[in-house]
Structure 1
Amino acid sequence: MIRTRPALAAALALAAAPAFAQRADITVAMQLEPPHLDPTSAAAGAIDNVTYANIFEGLTRFREDGSVVPGLAESWEISDDGLTYTFTLREGVSFHDGTAMDAEDVKFTLERLLADESTNAQKALYEAIETVEVLDALTVRLTLSRPEGSLLFNLAWGDAVIVAPESVADIKTNPVGTGPFRFVDWVQGDRVEIARHDGYWGEAPALERATFKFISDPTAAFAAMMAGDIDAFQAFPAPENLPQFEADPRFEVLIGSTEGETILSTNNGQPPFDDLRVRQALAHAIDRQEIIDGAMFGYGTPIGTHFAPHHPAYLDLTDNSAHDPERARALLAEAGYPDGFTTTLKLPPPSYARRGGEIVAAQLREVGIETEITNLEWAQWLEEVFRGKDYGLTIVSHTEPLDIGIYARPDYYFQYDNPDFQALMEELNATTEPALRAALLKDAQRIIAEDFVNGYLFQLASTSVVKAGIEGFWANAPTQAIDLTGVSWAE
């Protein structure tokens, strides 16, 4: 047996409240309002922004540096064949409604996630789980149908947080978790309020209350921050204002990395994008740096495949799709579109999409591709594009960590179906040796880059603005989260 018991210090590294904190509340703004508050049944990252690590917790969890540490599981054992994971849960953990959290809740959560009727956006990550057995109140055993080298990583996602059967019926509007903060109120269209949970199993956070404010308009975001109406803005939507904040001693600008691959997502199942030459032409029509400079004011890293540049296994494949309008026109003519064609470009609300979309449309027009731009609200985008696959092109940032495996799902919204890639992902899932996994990940990057599945634009930078005196606010975004567990005000 391989036994893993991470250090207790890593497991419980939550900031304690300063003895004489000036303030114990915070108002944090974010651009998108979540469609509901159940992270286990939708793809909207805004849900995790509010709930991850604050309201809900999983068996494992991410830290700001991207490492995976214990969450509700204090330790685990992995069988030599990699097919059995036995988790030991923490003692004394309860949900916010006072009910105990135990192995039965873990079993309920994972079986609900895997059920036929499940709407979990990342269900495919957990399909190797064959059975979930309760050995006793604090011990649960997962048996896999195949080795899954990323299981502990996948269990750290917001999609796998532990929920209870007693409260799951109302989870979308009244989330009940085990985290250090409990849900208080949701004024739709305006804010969500949470408060410190006095019965939390771990060390109490410094903050007593927190408000998540939803401000979609970049101009309004700037005005609210300058007026002092909000204390922090995660992923500030107007990067052109960042130098002004940097020059103002009242604020601090936090620049970090994210897992957000921003792509010109392409409907591979819809003509003319089912033709490799058309997708290749699309890629060569794009000038990434112009998009980064024009839409993000220079904040962002060009990418040539769906992989984060800060990951050790990253390959720089940007030359594979270098900006070459002449080559793009030749490829379109070869594919039977010498005069180009018209397609849809459906854009969700974030600034990178709306601003980037205008620049992309102009670049495509130069090679003969006309786009009909439609600006969608987030719920509309999820319904039409993500679930309905009713689109030609869209721009979106995939903020889930290490998510190249989505290209192995033929029914995913960009409808890419490559059996060789799917086989490669199966091999990756069965591989635990780090060097072998890195080699497979590099192969995966090459395949999707050479298939020009999507137009790969840039890695989204994390650009948050906070008031001076706020400590512990994440600069990096290893997952979609505004983790307030370690945030405090300086004395």
Structure 2
Amino acid sequence: MKLWKTILAAAALSLAAATSAFAARTDLTLGIVLEPPHLDPTAGAAAAIGEVTYANVFEGLTRIDDNGQVQAALAESWAVSDDGKIYTFKLHSGVKFHDGSAFSADDVKFSLDRARAKDSLNPQKPLFAHITDVTAVDPATVKVTLDGPQGNFLYDMGLVAAVIVGKGSADGNKDKPIGTGPFKLDHWAKGSEITLVKNPDYWGTPAALDKATFRIVPDAAAAVPALLSGDIQAFANMPAQDALAQVQSDPRFSVVIGATEGETILSINNKKPPFDKLAVRQALASAIDRGAIIAAASNGLGKPIGSHFSPGDAGYVDLTGVYPHDIVKAKEYLKEAGLENGFSATIKLPPVPYARDGGQVIQSQLKDIGVNLQIIPVEWAEWLSQVFTNKDYDLTIVSHVEPNDIDIYSRPGYYFQYDNPKFNDLIKELDTTVDNDKRLELLGEAQKILAHDVPAVYLFELPKIGVWDAKLQGMWTNWPIEADDLTKVKWTD
């Protein structure tokens, strides 16, 4: 009898070991290029914040899916008044924040009122400017009143900066984010990694992953060895550079080239001489060869753009021919501006490869027309402080990854310091236009104004170079918003 018990116990152990060996894993280490400055998407402009937290930790009334479409999130449904001014949202019941507190309409009211307040630090505060009132009708119903019809309101409510936060935990979200999402923060080792774990009390479909670690890997020199060794199993957008071919030839990995909403531009301080002169900006645009920059800064995968709009979006107008690469014409523009002998300026470059690599090419190209650029490398926090906030710069390179953000050129005090009343009026009309055909017409006009006025030199649309273990499913091909949404990611056997 004892012998049989011993045999059965051994068989059970063997079966358990075999089951464990063939079970799909439930952890993931994901490489990201930039470490977020903090983890509150309602209080910072850095795209890296949303890359980690959107849909994973925080959720909005609506959400944007991998095809760029609006889907229900914390709001299970909504109704719109006949005049387009009142949205009544029916909220999911039984939702809890990660600290155990119950989610209700009061949290929606708190979040939207906080975002639109005079002292709001929300990086997308204009999204909420048309809200005139938010009323918690009952715990599961909230009514939002606008000052007029807004064609993009439901879309805007699904963006990163529109996530819903709890009144009791909002002030601590930078270091200890408390959301309603399927993952919650486990720990953050500054300078190294951010680890999320499955939220066991999630109200919706549970995540397949038990743990997800976001490892900060800023360049290809570190990224490729980490991937090949298995220390990292995925990059939503890999800084592969020249090593991409090596990864593509390895059958262990899936390499998926997708699109982003990242308009990569040479940003110009439009109020700082000599860049306040149109002819100077025209000279810069004419001196720059987009093809050479794309080859150096995006593995040749970026798509050239001539205005602040993604080629993948409806309403895109190809304006790359407005200022073709023409050194002779560029010198003529400088002469028109009274600067035929050229001038000197600085270009501040954040640490992302497309900026550092692209900046060197631009420095060389502008030298051909007598513009001598001093490259100043800055860390991301410095860029946000010096360039974005304090407008202490001449030129810089950055990808604007927020979707449908052509309106930023109409925002008072935005770091471009660009002000065109005609453009501003066009954006105001666009805001209140619901008819889709008319919206596309207005978007085309807005693109043309920017292309001709050159408040920035438009370079290329940032590609998304997804690289991950071939057994991993559910990663986004495209980035309609910059988010590493892990809600449907799982391993196959």
TM score, norm. by length of structure 1: 0.95
The residue that corresponds to 1:245 in the other structure is 247
Deviations 1:93-130 (A, max 9, x none): 11011111110000110111111221111101110011
The residue that corresponds to 1:40 in the other structure is 42
The residue that corresponds to 1:77 in the other structure is 79
Deviations 1:59-117 (A, max 9, x none): 01011011111110111111111111111111111101111111000011011111122
The match for 1:371 among 370, 373, 380 is 373
List alignment gaps of at least 5 residues for structure 1: 1-19
The residue that corresponds to 2:17 in the other structure is none
Q: Does 1:427 align with 2:429?
A: yes
SS at match of 2:286: helix
The residue that corresponds to 2:161 in the other structure is 159
8 Å contact 2:77–2:89 — kept in the other structure? yes
Deviations 1:139-176 (A, max 9, x none): 11111122211111111111010000111121100000
Distance (Å, rounded) in 2 between the aligned partners of 1:451 and 1:26? 46
8 Å contact 1:29–1:234 — kept in the other structure? yes
SS at match of 1:465: strand
**Higher alpha-carbon Rg:** 2
Give matches, 1:4-153, under 5 Å. Answer: 21-153=23-155
Deviations 1:2-30 (A, max 9, x none): xxxxxxxxxxxxxxxxxx74100000010
List alignment gaps of at least 5 residues for structure 2: 1-21
8 Å contact 2:63–2:70 — kept in the other structure? yes
Amino acid corresponding to residue 181 of structure 1 in structure 2: F
Q: Which shifted more, 231-240 or 153-162?
A: 231-240
Aligned residues: 472
Q: Which shifted more, 375-384 or 243-252?
A: 243-252
Give matches, 1:272-283, under 5 Å. Answer: 272-283=274-285
The residue that corresponds to 2:210 in the other structure is 208
Q: Does 1:439 align with 2:441?
A: yes
TM score, norm. by length of structure 2: 0.95
Distance (Å, rounded) in 2 between the aligned partners of 1:74 and 1:86? 11
8 Å contact 1:261–1:397 — kept in the other structure? yes
Amino acid corresponding to residue 26 of structure 2 in structure 1: A
- How far the C-alpha of 1:216 sits from its partner, in A, is 1.2
Amino acid corresponding to residue 207 of structure 2 in structure 1: P
Amino acid corresponding to residue 153 of structure 1 in structure 2: Y
SS at match of 2:142: strand
- How far the C-alpha of 1:352 sits from its partner, in A, is 0.3
The residue that corresponds to 1:391 in the other structure is 393
SS at match of 2:322: helix
Q: Does 1:298 align with 2:300?
A: yes
Q: Does 1:229 align with 2:225?
A: no
Distance (Å, rounded) in 1 between the aligned partners of 2:362 and 2:23? 48
Give matches, 1:260-271, under 5 Å. Answer: 260-271=262-273
Give matches, 1:443-462, under 5 Å. Answer: 443-462=445-464
Deviations 1:17-59 (A, max 9, x none): xxx7410000001010000000001100000011000000000
SS at match of 2:113: helix
Q: Work out the percentage of aligned pairs sharing the same amino acid.
A: 51
Amino acid corresponding to residue 57 of structure 2 in structure 1: I
Q: Does 1:338 align with 2:340?
A: yes
8 Å contact 2:236–2:475 — kept in the other structure? no
The match for 1:198 among 190, 200, 209 is 200
SS at match of 1:318: coil
SS at match of 2:372: strand
The residue that corresponds to 1:475 in the other structure is 477
Distance (Å, rounded) in 2 between the aligned partners of 1:258 and 1:155? 20
- How far the C-alpha of 1:221 sits from its partner, in A, is 1.1
- How far the C-alpha of 1:295 sits from its partner, in A, is 2.0
8 Å contact 1:262–1:396 — kept in the other structure? yes
Distance (Å, rounded) in 2 between the aligned partners of 1:21 and 1:107? 44
Distance (Å, rounded) in 2 between the aligned partners of 1:226 and 1:321? 43
Amino acid corresponding to residue 386 of structure 2 in structure 1: E
Amino acid corresponding to residue 319 of structure 1 in structure 2: G
The match for 1:174 among 172, 176, 191 is 176
Distance (Å, rounded) in 1 between the aligned partners of 2:485 and 2:69? 14
Distance (Å, rounded) in 1 between the aligned partners of 2:482 and 2:234? 16
Q: Does 1:327 align with 2:356?
A: no
The residue that corresponds to 1:4 in the other structure is none
Distance (Å, rounded) in 2 between the aligned partners of 1:117 and 1:376? 28
Amino acid corresponding to residue 258 of structure 2 in structure 1: G
Distance (Å, rounded) in 1 between the aligned partners of 2:385 and 2:52? 21
The residue that corresponds to 1:8 in the other structure is none
The residue that corresponds to 1:220 in the other structure is 222
The residue that corresponds to 1:401 in the other structure is 403
8 Å contact 1:239–1:299 — kept in the other structure? no
Distance 1:21 1:120, change over 3 A: farther
Distance (Å, rounded) in 1 between the aligned partners of 2:323 and 2:412? 23
Give matches, 1:340-359, under 5 Å. Answer: 340-359=342-361
Distance (Å, rounded) in 2 between the aligned partners of 1:107 and 1:260? 31
Deviations 1:165-196 (A, max 9, x none): 11112110000000000111000000001111
Distance (Å, rounded) in 1 between the aligned partners of 2:23 and 2:462? 34
The match for 1:488 among 480, 487, 490 is 490
SS at match of 2:397: strand
Distance (Å, rounded) in 1 between the aligned partners of 2:285 and 2:122? 31
Distance (Å, rounded) in 2 between the aligned partners of 1:262 and 1:21? 42
SS at match of 2:387: helix
Amino acid corresponding to residue 288 of structure 1 in structure 2: R
Distance (Å, rounded) in 2 between the aligned partners of 1:92 and 1:326? 67
8 Å contact 2:28–2:213 — kept in the other structure? yes
Distance (Å, rounded) in 2 between the aligned partners of 1:403 and 1:295? 23
Structure 1 residue runs of 4 or more that deviate by more than 6 Å after TM superposition: none
Amino acid corresponding to residue 376 of structure 1 in structure 2: V
Distance (Å, rounded) in 1 between the aligned partners of 2:199 and 2:150? 35
SS at match of 1:319: coil
Distance 1:435 1:77, change over 3 A: same
8 Å contact 1:182–1:195 — kept in the other structure? yes
